[in-house]
Chain A
């Protein structure tokens, strides 16, 4: 194989990969809320799907479906994973980590309010900087904070970034209520995960 032939073959592979592995997968990812590269075959790794319930990751009610009244009004956030209607906990991918918090609906920005139910909002719990869990809470600011590098998100306003190195807001997850528990109403509003990883 000549060097020139080698390059031509490589370029063809690259183009094909871009279309199938990159382009289509990316398009599918956007459509389903699936992060590029995520595997969708295993239900425990699938991103949250409409109809999924939200289940506590920690605390005295760990493993149970979250009811709006379970959450303290005004924060802090609770960590959760989605669970399929069949009961499959989608904890197979860290990218499925969620944060959930309850606020006075009057405090929510219009777009946020439209995605909330009973004042409860849900977002990806994966920081958009380096993919660390957004598991800390600022009592002073009433905002969620990434423990790795301090990126601070306003959950009342679309989880927009108010401090820190993250490039943009967390992906929001629209909610509804069914049988008194929180249920996923739609897919993630945007790409989930950090930069560079």
Chain B
């Protein structure tokens, strides 16, 4: 009885955030300069740095000792569904966000729980994806993009709410899953809801007060530049171009690069025109949010190929010159080399298909505009098959760039297609509004294919393909992490494995079977001179849905156990 009481007391103290208070004196405020140049031992933002490489320079864990990697602590998150956030670490304090807008603060070395915040979602609330992709840190606060489209600032020491600001109306279909991006005292967020007919935007809020500083829509209103690409009246109001993944930031030019999603509804003939800025990368002024450049990957979108991932900021060789570049493997199955122009413009340089794709006949060498094979463009009342299917050559999981190898590592999927046609549907705010019902997706795979998921690699300077890792009985839904130890870490497969590969050769050097499937990005950090690798394991959302379809198509096990656990590994 006494033991039970102690446990209850501890739970009460945790709920009140009192245990975390013990760490108050140690918490290191996050500054602009620290975000510009994070210490190697810290993982201060979702992809490690503003450049979005998903790369840790730490090298204590390396190709020679990774076989000795063992779990040193773990903790259950207490929730199911898809865990898609990397552990964010600041001077020994780890912040992990989970589905249903929960944040746990933990001692990064011991795993002790410091505090927990769990957002109470509104009655009747629902979202297509209940996930969260990470918190942002600034000053002494932790910023969470709430699933119900409310931005929440928490006290990093206690987990108590400092302020909340409504970003969008969830009843109209807006919700948020990305990690906020901190840019010079402002907290930038984007919105999801491209399947519900929202109009996307990026909005910045004052980090101290939560007051809106600027808001830039990803679809122009009539009269604004680009509005002539919405040729049918009012389609722009519900045209999609959601902004559901975190942007990257070029500190030198003060430019934010942010990705946008599909058009709404999915069928382009219902919204004639190129539909700027759907499926695009936006370049935004870091102070004002003004749109200063863009690149659209495919016009009049039909395939649910969002361009949600912001390109990585990578300088590469092009025609004998070092280019300030943007590198991005897109959901449409192509890997793009783009140039960051001084005025914020985005210039197309080159693209190669990293998976077989049957929609683009060619890509204009100057503009990057694809020529579409109309036989593979679905329409309203027009059935068409396209490959890769709507989940793309890759979905949201992060690719990684290693400056040590000069290679990009892409978590990819191929040998899958979709086939559908559209209908004209009445929009109900907050409800699915794509023009095609889920049962009519007609997802298919090549049942004779030798693999489906893979890691593909390319030399960023020459464009030459490097090693591949093929998964014969799984899709690949895991973000990748490269490290200074010449390693690639990632999960993503339905067998619950977390793996380490030699970044140069692709040789698998280590693996560990976790509680669930891993779709979250790994991160790396160090405390007291010891390097750790951390990742959440928790299968769900689209990976689980696709796995259920594959169980019917090719007999894979539909039941990949769910339930989140944070794992932390070190060499012993």
Contacts and interface: CB of A to CB of B under 8 A. Distances in A.
Q: Of residues A136, A146, A149, A195, which shows the largest number of chain B Cβ atoms within 10 Å of its Cβ?
A: A149
Contact of B124 (A11, A93, A139): A93
Given A136-B439, A138-B439, A148 B124 contact: no
Given A94-B124, A196-B79, A6 B12 contact: yes
B207 to A, nearest CB: 29
Contacts of B99: 196
Nearest to B441: A150
Given A3-B9, A10-B12, A164-B548, A147 B438 contact: yes
Given A57-B428, A133-B431, A37 B123 contact: yes
Nearest to A195: B80
Residues of A contacting B: mostly: loop
- Count class of interface residues, chain A: 35 or more
Given A7-B9, A150-B545, A131 B125 contact: yes
Contacts of A94: 123-126, 171, 430
Contacts of A196: 79-81, 99-100, 130
A147 B433 CA distance: 9
Interface string B417-437: 000000000101011100001
Nearest to B122: A94
A53 B541 CA distance: 36
B432 A136 contact: yes
Nearest to B79: A196
A59 B100 CA distance: 33
Contact of B437 (A93, A126, A147, A165): A147
B121 interface: yes
Nearest to A146: B438
A133 to B, nearest CB: 5
B128 A132 contact: yes
A150 B549 CA distance: 10
Contacts of A141: 439
A152 interface: yes
Q: Of residues B123, B125, B437, B544, which shows the largest number of chain A Cβ atoms within 10 Å of its Cβ?
A: B123
Q: Of residues B12, B13, B438, which shows the largest number of chain A Cβ atoms within 10 Å of its Cβ?
A: B438
Interface in A1-56: 3-4, 6-7, 10-11, 35, 37-39
A135 interface: yes
Contacts of B127: 130, 132, 148
A7 B437 contact: no
21 contacts: A3-B13, A6-B12, A10-B12, A11-B8, A38-B123, A79-B428, A94-B430, A126-B124, A133-B428, A135-B428, A136-B437, A136-B439, A137-B439, A138-B440, A139-B440, A140-B439, A147-B432, A148-B127, A148-B432, A150-B548, A196-B99
Interface of A: 3-4, 6-7, 10-11, 35, 37-39, 57-59, 79, 93-95, 126-127, 130-133, 135-141, 145-150, 152, 163-165, 193-197
Given A132-B432, A136-B439, A196-B130, 16 more contacts: A3-B9, A7-B12, A58-B426, A94-B124, A94-B430, A127-B126, A130-B126, A130-B127, A131-B126, A140-B439, A149-B545, A150-B545, A150-B548, A194-B126, A196-B81, A197-B126
